[in-house]
Amino acid sequence: MKYIFHILFFLSLSMSALAQEPTDAPVTSISGIIEELLNQLTIEKGEQMDTTAIRNLFHPSAIFTVADADMAETISLDDFLILLKDPYYEEGYTEKEIHKVVDHYNGIAQVFQSFYGKDSEGMEEKGINSYQLTYYKGRWWIVSLLWAVTPKGEELPSQYQGN
């Protein structure tokens, strides 16, 4: 009997831990989850990124691709989180949304978001983030993130410049 009690006790602990998976407001809407990602990526000098909070925004098998006219490089979620621990980001980094276009249907979404970024050395850039998301278990998950930086001397396309 004692053995069964222990099994039931540990099962209840496991189930309560699973039930406590965060499903707060940022992940229940497309705009919320994307805004939360930008909030997590934007840090002041001396801060470290909360990679656990960032991980919670992504599907476990999410991929990340940076591309331009000459190349495309893809990494895993784990590799992306390792990159975010680089001391470069501890010097401070800002990323803000300029404008976004959202298309969704039946639990999938595609978001094109223009962004402005600035690092601690004052280097500024604009570009496009392309997110693919899926909705299940009562929340949105980012499945992939593809981005490109606008080449020097070029402007963002007019449909992504916002107001």
Following DSSP, what letter does each residue of 24-76 receive, concatenated?
Answer: -GGGSSHHHHHHHHHHHH-B-TT----HHHHHTTEEEEEEEEEE-SS-EEEEE
Domain-located, residue 34: yes
Structure tokens at 60: 């476990």
Domain-located, residue 47: yes
Q: What is the pLDDT of residue 162?
A: 84
Domain-located, residue 13: no
Burial category of 57 from C-beta neighbours within 10 Å (exposed 0-12, middle 13-18, buried 19 and up)? buried
Domain-located, residue 121: yes
Structure tokens at 73: 């490089």
Model pTM score:
0.81
Domain-located, residue 86: yes
CATH code of 135's domain: 3.10.450.50
Mean of the per-residue pLDDT values of the chain:
86
Domain count, the chain: 1
105 has a pLDDT exceeding 90: yes
Specify which residues 127 forms β-bridges with: 115, 149
Residue numbers of the domain that contains 81: 24-153
Q: In terms of pLDDT, which residue wins out, 122 or 131?
A: 131
